[in-house]
Amino acid sequence: MDRFVFLISAGLARGAVLALFALSLVIVWRAARVVNFAQAAMAVTAVYAAFAVTAATGSYWAGLLTGLAAGALLGAAVERGLMRRLPAHAPLPGIIVAIGLVMMLQAGLAIAFGPEHRPMHPPFSERPFLIGGVPVLSPYDLFTLIAAAAVMGALALLFGRTSLGLQLRAAAFAPETSRLLGVRVPRMVTLGWALAVATAALAAMLLVPTELGLNPHAVDLLFVNAFAVAVIGGLDSPIGALLAGVGVGLLVSLVTGYASASAAPLAVLALLTLVLLVRPGGVFSAKEARTA
């Protein structure tokens, strides 16, 4: 029972990070109708920037801010420099360019920083609180949950309650009409990318201190799990990403605890396959237009 409570609480923190990363995929999808396969490599690049600043200044918070800014800049630069030049309405070139970007960024980071795992220290203790003798969340887990909840809340406010959010949604939903009504659509798409990659960078920065360390491939597994989460939730739905993120986080935690760590990717793969076969659009998505 103790074990179960511990695994559930660890799964919640893991799920929050997953949901945050999945949300970043949802933002790009909503802004530009592409799945950004380079999200993990771009996020890990931002984490390296954060790592370098933290190492230079000694402040975790300066590093965190740098990472967010680097993520936003990288997102905007990739959209302006690469993705915009691709033909619209065909997913293949976008995916292929993203794969090229993954290879360039990861190889570039390995050349610049070396392939070894660099330890990143969390700003709070990772020793769990004991409640009635049962280990539950650690202070760092709590920080992760609060940070993820705060960012998701802020994004929900931005998209739902502000004029900028309305423009972002309009630009994604009906680009031509929005342009006629005076929305600067290209700028909105760039902004969407910047927001998304900054969010992904935050998720990666929350994850890396709990793992082996910083490495060009440190976020690969997070991306695959978050992709599964985004698809299960329906690529269009932020609420879906949140619920599916917590669900998959709990699943991974329980499978890791009761079976083995190596069984977790198989469980996620099985769940993804099942959802894709039963409801290809995801569990929370609206119905797709008729094709025939």
Partner 1 sequence: MKIPLRALLLTVLGIGATFGLDPFRNYQLATVAACFAAVAGLTVLVGLTGQLSLGHAVLMAAGGYGFAFAASAVEGPWPLALLVGLVAAVAVAGLLGLLLGMAAARLRGPYLAGLTLALVIALPSAASTLPLGADQGARAPFFAVPEALAALIALEQWHAWLAIVIAAVAVTPLVMLRSGRAGLRMRAVLDDETAARLSGVDPGLVKAGAFVASAVPAGLGGAILAIATQQVTPGGYGLAFSLLLVVAAVVGGLGSIGGAAIGSVLIVFLPWIVDELVAAVPSDLGQRLDGNLAVLLFGAGLIAMTLAWPGGAARLLDRLRAARPSRLATPTTTTER
Interface contacts to partner 1, rule CB under 8 A: 34-35, 37, 82, 85-87, 90-93, 95-97, 99-108, 110-112, 114-115, 220-221, 224, 227-228, 231, 235, 260, 262-266, 268-269, 272-273, 276-277, 280, 291-292
Collapsing DSSP to helix, strand or coil, 178 comes out as: helix
| Residue 205 near residue 49, CB atoms below 8 Å | no
Helix intervals (H) in 114-237: 139-161, 163-173, 175-180, 185-207, 220-233
Q: How far apart are the first and last CA of the chain?
A: 52
By beta-carbon proximity to partner 1, the closer residue of 138 and 253 is 253
Q: What's the sign of the alpha-carbon dihedral 13, 16, 18, 20? A: negative
CB of 3 to partner 1, least distance (A): 21
By beta-carbon proximity to partner 1, the closer residue of 183 and 268 is 268
By beta-carbon proximity to partner 1, the closer residue of 63 and 75 is 75
Q: How far apart are CA 200 and CA 101, in angstroms?
A: 16
Q: How far apart are CA 287 and CA 117, in angstroms?
A: 44
Say which residues have a Cβ less than 8 Å from residue 72's Cβ, sequence separation at least 6.
Answer: 194, 195, 197, 198
CB of 270 to partner 1, least distance (A): 9
CB of 221 to partner 1, least distance (A): 6
Collapsing DSSP to helix, strand or coil, 118 comes out as: strand
By beta-carbon proximity to partner 1, the closer residue of 131 and 266 is 266
Centre a 10 Å sphere on the Cβ of residue 257 and count the other Cβ atoms it contains: 17
Q: How far apart are CA 285 and CA 139, in angstroms?
A: 35
Q: Which of 200, 261, 203 is nearest to 16 (CA)?
A: 203
Q: How far apart are CA 204 and CA 198, in angstroms?
A: 10
By beta-carbon proximity to partner 1, the closer residue of 5 and 110 is 110
By beta-carbon proximity to partner 1, the closer residue of 25 and 137 is 25
By beta-carbon proximity to partner 1, the closer residue of 179 and 279 is 279
